[in-house]
């Protein structure tokens, strides 16, 4: 049995999950598997502009998703 507040939490959690997925997919730069294991030759660069925004947006969305999951569990426990 879902209450109205629990439905709102679930809907908001689904929206955050979709936004998190999109932000993570936008971060992929199409690098090969070799670059993931250091085959890149050590070319490190700092993230600037939109890349930095995507990184911090993903961090915020991840924390928000975890908090919403905890609230969802807490509300479900209170219903029993």
pTM of the model: 0.73
pLDDT grade, residue 16 (50/70/90)?
A: very high
Average pLDDT over residues 39-66: 82
- pLDDT at residue 61 in the model: 97
Residue 32 has pLDDT above 60, yes or no: no
Separation between Cα atoms, residue 12 and residue 10, nearest integer Å = 5
Percent helix, strand, coil in the chain, to 5, is 70, 0, 30
- pLDDT at residue 28 in the model: 77
- pLDDT at residue 38 in the model: 56
Residue 47 has pLDDT above 80, yes or no: no
């Amino acid at each position: 049995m879902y209450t109205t507040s629990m439905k709102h939490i679930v809907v908001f959690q689904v929206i955050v999950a979709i936004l998190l997925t999109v932000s993570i997919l936008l971060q992929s730069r199409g690098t090969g598997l070799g670059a993931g294991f250091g085959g890149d030759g050590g070319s490190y660069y700092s993230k600037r502009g939109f890349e930095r925004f995507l990184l911090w947006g993903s961090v915020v969305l991840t924390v928000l998703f975890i908090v919403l999951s905890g609230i969802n569990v807490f509300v479900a426990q209170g219903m029993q």
